[in-house]
Amino acid sequence: MAKPVQFVVLLIAACLVAGVFGALHNQLSYSVGPAYFEDLKFTQFGIPEDQRNRIGAALVGWRASWWMGLLLGLPIFGLAVVLIPQRHVLALGAGALFIALFCAMVGALIGLLLGLLGKSLPLIADLLAELPPDTGFRRAALMHEGSYLGGAVGGGIALWTIWRARRSLNA
């Protein structure tokens, strides 16, 4: 498969993975803090009244996340296509996608943990003071912020992985 085709395939896969991650992630965060969706996200994403439940949370997750696959995929897969031999692009691209996904999951869990421990940690308590008082809202909000931050960190790690792999694969 030619490199441009591999690039497009990887970008589509990244958008699908990111969107599905968002939809599944929101199932957990909806359980943790339905008020986050009811007070903010359903209105923000124009979810109809009859879907303001787990289905709506999944729709919000898809709409809020699919583009992260594109945002992270463009530089990561672009670098892979330029630096990596053709026969390794798909495998390294899939590995980079896994790295970003894993980091997004870890970020979401750290966000949830900070939401659970927040009042006992002074720095986090100050941050939480900026959010509405509902504890579930705060936990879900921190999960969301954590997953975006984790995905961004994962994207950086994935770029570094591609950059580093070029030496051994081109040798």
30, 54 contact by CB (below 8 A): yes
Q: Express each pLDDT in 73-90 by its tens digit.
A: 999 999 999 999 999 999
**CA 34/CA 74 separation, integer angstroms:** 33
Q: What is the pLDDT of residue 88?
A: 93
Report the 10 Å Cβ neighbour count for 13.
17
Entry pTM: 0.89
Q: Express each pLDDT in 105-130 by its tens digit.
A: 999 999 999 888 876 666 666 666 66
Average pLDDT over residues 154-166: 94
Q: What is the pLDDT of residue 120?
A: 66
Q: What is the pLDDT of residue 143?
A: 94
Q: What is the pLDDT of residue 168?
A: 82
Q: What's the Cα-to-Cα distance from 127 to each of 61, 87, 123, 142, rounded to whole Å? A: 23, 47, 7, 10
Q: What is the pLDDT of residue 114?
A: 86
